[in-house]
Amino acid sequence: MLQKRVLTMINQNIIGFIGIAIAIVGIGIAIFQDELQPVPTPASKQLSESVFEKGAELLGFEVEKKRENDWVTITLFSLGFISIILGIFSWVKKEAQRISIAAVALGLVVVAWEYVLIGVVVVVVGMFVGLFS
101 lies in some domain: yes
41 lies in some domain: no
Tens of pLDDT, residues 83-114: 999 999 999 988 888 999 999 999 999 999 88
Q: What is the three-class DSSP state of 6? A: helix
Q: What is the three-class DSSP state of 100? A: helix
Q: What is the three-class DSSP state of 68? A: coil
54 lies in some domain: no
100 lies in some domain: yes
So what's the pLDDT on residue 18?
Answer: 93
Contact 99, 90 (CB under 8 A): yes
Closest CA to 76 of 110, 112, 109: 110
In the chain, how many domains are there? 1
109 lies in some domain: yes
Which DSSP string corresponds to 12-44? Answer: HTHHHHHHHHHHHHHHHHHHTHHHHSPPPPPP-
108 lies in some domain: yes
Most confidently predicted of 3-7, 39-43, 77-81: 77-81
* Structural domain containing residue 84: 2-36+68-132
Question: What's the length of the chain?
Answer: 133
56 lies in some domain: no
48 lies in some domain: no
Tens of pLDDT, residues 12-68: 888 899 999 999 999 999 888 878 776 665 565 666 677 777 777 777 777 666 555
Q: Distance between CA 133 and CA 117 in Å, rounded? A: 24
